[in-house]
Amino acid sequence: MTLYGGYGVMRRALFALVLLALAAGPAGATAIERVISPGGIEAWLVRQPSVPLVAMDFAMVGGANEDPADKAGVAHLVASTIDEGAGDLDAAAYHKRLEDNAIELSFTANRDHFRGSLRTLTANRDLAFDTLRLSLTAPRFDTDAVERIRTQILTDLRRATTSPGDLASDAWWHAAFPNHPYGRPVNGTLDSMARITIGDLRDYAHRVFARSTLKIAIVGDIDAATAGRLIDKAFGALPAQAELAPVPAADPQGLGRRIVVDLDVPQSVIMFGGPGIARNDPDFFAAYLVNHILGGGAMSSRLYTEVREKRGLAYGVSTGLVPLAHAQLISGSTATRADRTADTLDIIDQEMKKLAENGPTEQELEKTKSFLKGSYGLYFDTSTKIAAQLVQIQLDNLGIDYIDRRNGMIDAVTRADAQRMAKRLFDGQMLVTVVGRPQGVTSKDLSASGSGG
């Protein structure tokens, strides 16, 4: 997680070359091969022999939802310390190996998954995959390294106590999912982070790091046989089965509530959300289109037009679908002047109701279809992005031919489909959190008022 003095210059110079090569990679090279390693591990491979690089992304089920109930942040601390020494390499030796050989390893934990990525020059791929093997099978979790990283995280958490965005998000998730893993902060709290032990880190790694939930994508200058060999090198020694605690399905609670958190800042930060749609729902693309029309379309959405362009109430406003493994959400956020918070909330509510009642226009629907089809290629313009997208497609269980089928599924959405989905998503109430000192806006239960935003 930390760079070490003199090695940083070499690392930056080497990775300048790497990034230039990645950016020059063929954007259209997305022919996907299913590779089964000699040890029986599946991966998806996209060959790009013209670029002397290999990019790999992987994910395993079990993110922050596998944290102990009283120790939120375990997965986050594991992801932050697993690259601070492994096997016979302490933190300094580990980072020296990466920097001297232009290898990049990174790890993250979200609510549902533990994810990692590897970037390496082709010439150093064996060493890179072996270093990943050490990280996953023999992380050191040395006391000095863990305490150094813990101190950094605690500093970030203290800063978050005065961040309106962080406070709004934490309050929303806590109210939406009380007594559920999704209600706990992914990064932990000041209290929970201080109580996590090295034993907790080892227990998480033992339970979560396994082949049974592993999804892998490799892109670059590598053939199927070599990919299979390196997959076994990195992952073959992991346990066959994960030992995951069950996570119950959940629906967001508190719909109709408005929670105001007092903070002395000039703007009010608003977060709102409610029930969404599962990624495997046949109507997902209808939901995807109507969300884009409401608030997912950056500068083209209805909310952006009404809140910013016409009234200048906010710099930006957006919404998005959040299909988690155990809950489905639609969520949105914005920030506005304290004296205009009530107006902003009213406009968001009105635009949701309009879309719920009438659906999108045919023109809006066709324009959105065209944009979403045309812009999809931007997710595949580097090896790094391709690998990340292929892992996500596997996690969502969409099939290896999903990229070829996607545009057809978008085209198949009719205006009637969109109208039906708009009513389903936006005709109910939302849970709203506001952080700041909004004038005329107070915490209250809105369940009886019929207001959605």
Taking residues 173-186, report their average pLDDT. 97
Taking residues 333-351, report their average pLDDT. 97
Cα Dmax for the chain: 65
Determine the residue type at 55: A
Query: In the predicted model, is pLDDT for residue 24 greater than 70?
Result: no
Query: In the predicted model, is pLDDT for residue 101 greater than 80?
Result: yes
Domains, the chain: 5-235 (3.30.830.10), 257-445 (3.30.830.10)
Measure the CA angle with vertex 405, ends 423 and 37; round to 5°: 125
Which residue would you say has higher pLDDT here, 5 or 111? 111
Confidence of residue 218 (pLDDT cuts 50, 70, 90): very high
Query: In the predicted model, is pLDDT for residue 75 greater than 60?
Result: yes
Confidence of residue 16 (pLDDT cuts 50, 70, 90): very low
Q: State residue 445's pLDDT score.
A: 79
Q: What is the pLDDT of residues 372-425, one digit of tens each?
A: 999 999 989 899 999 999 999 999 999 999 999 999 999 999 999 999 999 999
Q: Which residues have CB under 8 Å from 19's CB, separation 6+?
A: none
CA-based nearest residue to 79, from 43, 42, 117, 41: 117
Would you say 47 and 222 are in contact if contact means Cβ atoms under 8 Å apart? yes
Q: Which residues have CB under 8 Å from 80's CB, separation 6+?
A: 1, 107, 149, 152, 153
Confidence of residue 297 (pLDDT cuts 50, 70, 90): confident
Q: State residue 29's pLDDT score.
A: 44
Taking residues 27-36, report their average pLDDT. 78
Q: What is the pLDDT of residues 300-315, one digit of tens each?
A: 899 999 999 999 999 9
Determine the residue type at 419: Q
Confidence of residue 51 (pLDDT cuts 50, 70, 90): confident
Q: Which residues have CB under 8 Å from 233's CB, separation 6+?
A: 126, 129, 130, 133
Confidence of residue 246 (pLDDT cuts 50, 70, 90): very high
Determine the residue type at 372: L
Q: How far is CA 333 from CA 121, 166, 239, 303, 345, in A?
A: 40, 12, 41, 11, 10
Q: State residue 446's pLDDT score.
A: 56
Q: What percentage of the chain has pLDDT greater than the value 70?
A: 92
Q: Which residues have CB under 8 Å from 25's CB, separation 6+?
A: 48, 50, 51, 53, 381, 382, 383
Query: In the predicted model, is pLDDT for residue 165 greater than 50?
Result: yes
Taking residues 417-434, report their average pLDDT. 97
Taking residues 49-77, report their average pLDDT. 96
Taking residues 180-191, report their average pLDDT. 97
SS3 89: strand
Which residue would you say has higher pLDDT here, 217 or 8? 217
Q: How far is CA 232 from CA 123, 130, 392, 449, in A?
A: 18, 10, 21, 58
Least confident of 19-23, 114-118, 213-217, 295-299: 19-23
Query: In the predicted model, is pLDDT for residue 8 greater than 90?
Result: no
Mean confidence (pLDDT) of the chain: 92
Which residue would you say has higher pLDDT here, 51 or 435? 435
Q: Which helix (H) or strand (E) holds 363?
A: helix 362-375
Query: In the predicted model, is pLDDT for residue 57 greater than 90?
Result: yes
Taking residues 54-68, report their average pLDDT. 97
